[in-house]
Amino acid sequence: MDTAAAQAAMSVMPGGAAVGGALATFNNMNFIVDGKSSSGPGAGGGFSMSREEAEAALEEARGVAADLAEQAEGAMELQQTQAPADDPATMGFNQVGLEAFGNGAQHVAAERDYWRSLVTALEKALGVYQEADEQAGQDIGKSGRQKDSGGGLI
């Protein structure tokens, strides 16, 4: 299910608008890792943390996202539940249950997507930090005019 479909499905459920709208929460969030902004220079606000805190948060978010991915699969499978009999009452009751399972599956998928967006944002923030570290290393090497030493005279 794509993000727009999940948001639309969640918005019609009781309390669903909050979860559906949260899917994009971290897409444009600014994470500042050891002073390096994930949204570029001059971006204000967001979360500020050390590299170790960001890595720990990333690891935790990955675990939650993986758990929710498994739960989402199980929730989708519940939508395949068959009625135990072919009489109208049983079939009607089963249909109501299938609708509830469908709503639950959409909710779990939205939560999974929420955590995946956090993982993506943290990975981006840590990647920006790593690129800045690599660039600083190259700049130091160039400043000493030593080509192969990996460092320069400072």
Please indicate, yes or no, if residue 22 is contained in any of the structural domains: yes
Mean pLDDT, the chain, whole residue set: 77
Please indicate, yes or no, if residue 153 is contained in any of the structural domains: no
**Domains of the chain: total:** 1
Instruction: Kindly give, in sequence order, each residue whose CB lies less than 8 Å from that of residue 143, ignoring residues fewer than 6 positions away.
Output: 152, 154
Distance CA 57, CA 150 (A): 32
pLDDT, position 36: 78
Evaluate if residue 82 carries a pLDDT over 60: yes
Please indicate, yes or no, if residue 143 is contained in any of the structural domains: no
Of 112, 17, 33, 29, which is closest to residue 68 (Cα–Cα)?
Answer: 112
Please indicate, yes or no, if residue 49 is contained in any of the structural domains: yes
Please indicate, yes or no, if residue 147 is contained in any of the structural domains: no
Please indicate, yes or no, if residue 54 is contained in any of the structural domains: yes
Please indicate, yes or no, if residue 25 is contained in any of the structural domains: yes
Mean pLDDT of 34-46: 67
144 versus 136: the higher-pLDDT residue is 136
- Its pTM surpasses 0.75: no
Judge whether 13 and 103 are in contact, CB under 8 Å: yes
